[in-house]
C-alpha cells in the first residue's frame, strides 16, 4: 500500500514539474498606481502559492495557541485529579447464594 501511495506522489510531482517547466512564458501583472511586474508565469504562481501558504499559517496561529493553552490546562487538571485521594464507598454485602 505504501508503494502505491509513493508511486502516486511521484507521478503527481512529475506532472506538476512538467506543467511548471512548460509555463515559462513571461507574464505581466498590473498593480494599482501603475506598478507593473513582469516575470515567468511559474515564478508568479510560486510567489502567490507562498503568500497563500503564509496567510493560512498566520490565520491558524490564534487557534494553535488557544489549543496549546487548553492542553496545558487540562494536563494540570489531570495531574491534580490523579494526586487527590479517592474516597472509596463501602460496597454492600452480597446476598448469600443458595
pLDDT in tens, 62-98: 999 999 999 999 999 999 989 888 777 778 888 888 7
Q: What's the pTM value of the predicted model, to 2 decimals?
A: 0.60
pLDDT confidence of residue 60: 96
Q: Domain for residue 93, yes or no?
A: no
Q: Which structural domain, as residue segments, surrounds residue 40? A: 21-82
Task: Tell me, yes or no, whether 16 lies in a domain.
Answer: no
**Residue 1 falls within a domain, yes or no?**
no
Q: How far is CA 75 from the centre of its chain?
A: 23
Three-state SS at 26: strand
Does some domain include residue 39?
A: yes
Q: Looking at the domain assignment, is residue 48 inside a domain?
A: yes
78 belongs to a structural domain: yes
Count the domains in the chain: 1
Question: Is residue 72 one of the residues assigned to a domain?
Answer: yes
Residue 4 lies in a domain: no
Amino acid at each position: 500500500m505504501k508503494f502505491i501511495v509513493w508511486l502516486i506522489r511521484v507521478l503527481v510531482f512529475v506532472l506538476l514539474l512538467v506543467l511548471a517547466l512548460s509555463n515559462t512564458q513571461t507574464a505581466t501583472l498590473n498593480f494599482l498606481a501603475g506598478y507593473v511586474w513582469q516575470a515567468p508565469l511559474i515564478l508568479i504562481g510560486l510567489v502567490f502559492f507562498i503568500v497563500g501558504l503564509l496567510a493560512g499559517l498566520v490565520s491558524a496561529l490564534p487557534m494553535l495557541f488557544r489549543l496549546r493553552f487548553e492542553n496545558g490546562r487540562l494536563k494540570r487538571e489531570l495531574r491534580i485529579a490523579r494526586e487527590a485521594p479517592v474516597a472509596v464507598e463501602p460496597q454492600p454485602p452480597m446476598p448469600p447464594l443458595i
